[in-house]
């Protein structure tokens, strides 16, 4: 992030602009919405600028910008649409102590003006650091269509009512009241009778929330998916929006954790295979402790919580403590992985079933039906199998598996740094961590990337 987004207090402060043409007009149309004192320096101002000056909306000085003209100004815009003149005025404004923006010159500007969705006092600023203005405008248009015009009046009424709402205790009860106002009570009252009706409904809503019993703690076991925030389900997003505490494992990406409420407590309860980690008993106790204290807890797990996530143990601990819960499934690592290589887990004529194995340790591996897994056409998805690759390879070959059976390893599936290793059973590295696969990885037995299969088929046809 090269430009840090902030909202600058400009009420009663000076903003100075040099220029009188189209670039100046574009900036002034936006700046006139503020409560700043605007001063424009222009030898030949556009008629609109002259009219705004006559109406008292800004001060117009009909000459070129000079040293000292930006003293005490918080912002300065160089908008003369002339490279030499913009360089001159911006240097003078910097010397006067103002922050400088040169129109259409990102590199020499000290700040940039974002695209803005105005629902005063609600303001949404959209910036692309100058990389994609067209994209910023498209996002602006989309948000303007989504945000109702009544949002501004609702926010103004809510702001005036904030002191009265302080009778509710800090935390969830107060947040629930405001959420009810902005998404239910307020819009409905506005539609029924305008701003006066909203004020009456707001007071009635406050009394209702004062008399309600505090909400009891609850646990949502939520699947975070394989890592891409866009693969998070809507129900998962909703759970994160309302969570007081998020207890997450190490497979949950920072981008997904960013979606949690800013006030939420984030607790890393990650487990590291073959290394130090928080015990399952400690995780169970942590979930129960926060939920019993009345918190809305999200137990956030990579992929789907029902797949190798020890979900049953956590549900049993929560149930034993009399705490309510629900499960929000997620996109599994297996589903995302086969999608990334253009394959499906089952295929008519190849395999009617698929096996899910976990290879984080060797315990229990001897109980698998290795003879069945070694049959031609079988497909298995092996979770956490990086360090047990040699064991799996040996068991399969021992039970008659074709050494040329395709094996595909997908690391960091769905993430920008995703990598795919396509190999065969006999060439599978003994320890995938030694193959520089350091991120979470899933191994497929019996599948290869569709593109690799197509290339192989093409080669066979040429040989024939």
Q: Which residues are catalytic?
A: 249, 271
- The Cα–Cα gap between 120 and 17 comes to 23
- The Cα–Cα gap between 320 and 343 comes to 42
- Residue with the two structure tokens 């499906």: 344
Antiparallel, parallel or unpaired: β 296-301 and 218-223: parallel
Cα 79 from chain centre? 36
- The Cα–Cα gap between 171 and 152 comes to 24
- The Cα–Cα gap between 128 and 107 comes to 14
Residue 382 tokens read as 């092996």
Residue 336 tokens read as 């995302």
- The Cα–Cα gap between 66 and 154 comes to 44
Task: Enter the DSSP assignment of 113.
Answer: P
User: In terms of C-beta density within 10 A (0-12 exposed, 13-18 middle, 19 or more buried), how is residue 377 classed?
Assistant: exposed
- The Cα–Cα gap between 247 and 257 comes to 10
Residue 182 tokens read as 């902005």
Closest CA to 28 of 72, 65, 58, 61: 58
Cis status, amide bond into 117, omega within 30 of 0 = no
């Amino acid at each position: 992030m090269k430009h840090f987004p902030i909202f600058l207090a400009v009420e009663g402060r000076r903003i100075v602009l040099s220029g009188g043409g189209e670039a100046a007009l574009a900036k002034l149309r936006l700046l006139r919405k503020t409560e700043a004192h605007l001063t424009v320096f222009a030898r030949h101002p556009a008629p609109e600028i002259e009219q705004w000056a006559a109406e008292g909306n800004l001060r117009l000085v009909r000459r070129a910008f000079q040293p000292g003209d930006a003293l005490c100004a918080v912002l300065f815009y160089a908008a003369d649409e002339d490279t030499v003149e913009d360089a001159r005025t911006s240097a003078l404004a910097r010397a006067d102590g103002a922050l400088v923006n040169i129109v259409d010159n990102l590199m020499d500007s000290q700040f940039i003006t974002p695209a803005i969705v105005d629902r005063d006092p609600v303001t949404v600023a959209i910036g692309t650091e100058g990389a994609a203005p067209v994209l910023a405008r498209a996002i602006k248009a989309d948000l303007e269509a989504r945000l109702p015009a009544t949002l501004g009046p609702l926010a103004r009424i809510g702001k005036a009512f904030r002191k009265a709402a302080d009778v509710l205790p800090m935390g969830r009860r107060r947040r629930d009241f405001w959420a009810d106002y902005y998404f239910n009570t307020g819009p409905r009252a506005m539609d029924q009778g305008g701003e006066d009706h909203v004020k009456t409904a707001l007071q009635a809503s406050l009394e209702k929330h004062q008399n309600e019993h505090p909400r009891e703690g609850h646990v949502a076991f939520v699947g975070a998916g394989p890592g891409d925030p866009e693969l998070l389900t809507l129900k998962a997003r909703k759970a994160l929006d309302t969570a007081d505490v998020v207890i997450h494992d190490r497979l949950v990406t920072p981008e997904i954790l960013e979606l949690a409420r800013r006030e939420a407590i984030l607790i890393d309860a990650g487990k590291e295979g073959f290394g130090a980690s928080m015990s399952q008993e400690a995780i169970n106790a942590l979930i129960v402790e926060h939920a019993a204290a009345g918190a809305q807890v999200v137990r956030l797990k990579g992929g789907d919580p029902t797949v190798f996530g020890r979900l049953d143990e956590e549900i049993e601990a929560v149930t034993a403590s009399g705490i309510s819960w629900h499960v929000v499934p997620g996109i599994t690592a297996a589903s995302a992985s086969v999608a990334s290589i253009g394959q499906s887990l089952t295929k008519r004529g190849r395999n009617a079933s698929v096996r899910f194995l976990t290879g984080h340790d060797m315990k229990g591996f001897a109980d698998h039906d290795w003879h069945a897994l070694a049959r031609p056409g079988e497909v298995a998805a092996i979770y956490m199998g990086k360090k047990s690759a040699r064991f799996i390879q040996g068991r399969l070959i021992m039970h008659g598996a074709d050494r040329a059976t395709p094996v595909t390893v997908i690391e960091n599936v769905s993430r920008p740094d995703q990598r795919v290793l396509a190999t065969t059973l006999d060439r599978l590295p003994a320890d995938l961590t030694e193959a520089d696969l350091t991120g979470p990885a899933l191994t497929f037995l019996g599948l290869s990337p569709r593109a690799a299969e197509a290339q192989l088929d093409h080669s066979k046809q040429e040989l024939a």
